[in-house]
Amino acid sequence: MDDCIFCKIASGDIPADIVYQDEQVVGFRDLNPQAPTHVLVIPKKHIATLNDLLPEDEEIVGRMVGAAREIAMREGIADAGYRTVFNCNEQGGQTVFHIHLHLLGGRPMTWPPG
C-alpha cells in the first residue's frame, strides 16, 4: 500500500529501530513507547485490520506471535512477563491501519486495560 506508514517501514523507505526481521515479519520499537520495552511486530504483507485477515494469513499471524516471543526473550522480559495486544478499529484503539502486535514489558501491567 503506497500511503501506509508501516508498509514503508517494512520496505525500509521510512527508518525505524528494527529489532527483529524474518521473511514474513518485522519488529521495531514504537515511536511513543508505553513501557520500557514497546515493540510493534508487523507482517510485511499489508493487512489493514484483524477483520481483513484471510484464512491463508493465519500462518503470518503465527509468525507474528513467534516473533514477539523471540523479542521478549532477547529483551530479557520473558520470565518477568509481558503483554501482547492487537487493537482493532476505533473502539479497539487502532490508529495505524496495518495490523501490528504490540509487545509491552519491563513494568507491571494493569488489568483491565483502559
Active-site residue list: 100
Dihedral sign for Cα atoms in the order 95, 96, 101, 106:
negative
The span from the CA of 20 to the CA of 28, in Å, is: 7
Interface with ligand 5GP in residues 60-99 (CB under 6 A): 87, 93-96
The CA-based dihedral angle spanning residues 1, 23, 68, 91, taken in that order and rounded to the nearest 10 degrees = 20
- Closest CB to ligand 5GP among residues 13, 56: 13
Nearest to 37 by CA among 70, 67, 79, 82: 82
- Closest CB to ligand 5GP among residues 30, 75: 30
Q: Which of 3, 13, 32, 55 binds ligand 5GP (CB under 6 A)?
A: 32
Q: Which residues bind Zn ion (CB under 5 A)?
A: 1, 4, 6-7, 46, 98
Query: Can the peptide bond before residue 112 be classed as cis, meaning omega within 30 degrees of 0?
Result: yes
- Closest CB to ligand 5GP among residues 60, 100: 100
User: Which of Zn ion, ligand 5GP, none binds 98 (CB below 5-8 Å, type-dependent)?
Assistant: Zn ion
Contact residues toward ligand 5GP (CB under 6 A) are 5, 16, 28-32, 40, 87, 93-96
